Amino acid sequence: MNVTTHYARIFWQLLRRDIVTFRKQLYSFAINFTIISPIVYTISYGYIMPQAGLINPSPEAGTIFFVGSVLQVLIAPAIGLSLGVFFDTQHTKLLQYQMTFAPLSLIIFERIIFFSSVIFLCISPYFITAKWLLGSYLATMNTHWILIWCVLYVAALFFSAFSLFFIFSIKSIHQFGNLFDRFIFPLLQLGGLRAPYAVFMDYNLYLGIAVALNPMMQITEGLRKAMLGGDTYLPYYTSIGGALCSAVLCAYVAIRLAKKRLDAL
């Protein structure tokens, strides 16, 4: 048996084990992030915010607000899945056991693929649900649906790797709160949650350059371009390529941090 086949079989065993272990949690995620969250965020961001903040808002304005809500739907399940690594001592023991027959890099890679697949399956109906709820208030005349799902899967990969990096970098629940407030919250607010990249560029050139490096901004820009088209948003190769590079970087750092934590036990 060659090395590739050997590791492929280990990867499949790890994946099957995660499917069985997270089965009950997956059912809750399906309810929370495929039904409840899409309905709440679609109405809030796609209709209420444009109607409350703008005079006679266009469907394009509502779509810009709506796309920003995707970040919150993406990050919630990613952090939820990763929290088990931090709080569950049995999970830590499992990682130590798995390292006896598989390299840590393969274990983390499998976890990222599993998490991203779960997140993508939960969020993939989001835009269809939004169109059904909002109707003409959501602009879909120039929408490229295949590109939307491509960007969504890349976004799921990034948030899966990012959440593991975040979880392995904290050592206490106090640190969790501090890092969220000082790191994740600014990334979300400057990541296209409520305004596209062009708004930041109009406000300040240097701020615009800084937020262009934010993978969350790259994700929302890719989704807005897929929804609305035009040259106002960052090109696809920037959004998809940048988010993929950030996912690889987060995965690499997560592996290093996980190894450091497990060696200290």
State residue 120's pLDDT score.
94
> Looking at 13-17, 233-237, 250-254, which range is the least confident one?
13-17
Which contacts of 110-114 are long-range, i.e. CB under 8 A and separated by 24 or more positions?
110/11, 110/14, 110/15, 110/18, 111/14, 111/18, 111/160, 111/164, 112/157, 112/160, 112/161, 112/164, 112/247, 112/251, 113/15, 113/160, 114/15, 114/18, 114/19, 114/22
Q: Decide: pTM greater than 0.95.
A: no
How many independent structural domains does the chain possess?
A: 1
184 vs 95 pLDDT, higher one: 184
Give the closest residue to 25 by CA, choosing from 73, 74, 84.
Answer: 84
Residue 21 and residue 17: Cα distance in Å, rounded?
Answer: 6
Most confidently predicted of 9-13, 49-53, 218-222: 218-222
14-33 burial: b if 16+ Cβ within 10 Å, else e: beeebeeebeeebeebeebb
State residue 59's pLDDT score.
87
Chain segment 59-76, per-residue pLDDT in tens = 888 899 999 999 998 998
State residue 94's pLDDT score.
62
DSSP annotation of 232 reads S
Q: How many Cα atoms within 13 Å fall on the side-chain side of residue 157?
A: 20
| Alpha-carbon distance values, 9 to 103, 193, 199, 231 (Å) | 13, 40, 48, 45
Residue 158 and residue 156: Cα distance in Å, rounded?
Answer: 5
Residue 155, pLDDT above cutoff 90: yes
Mean pLDDT, rounded, of the chain: 86
Cα of 206 vs its chain's centroid, Å: 26
Q: Which domain holds residue 102?
A: 3-264
Q: Given pLDDT bands bounded at 50, 70 and 90, which one contains residue 236?
A: confident
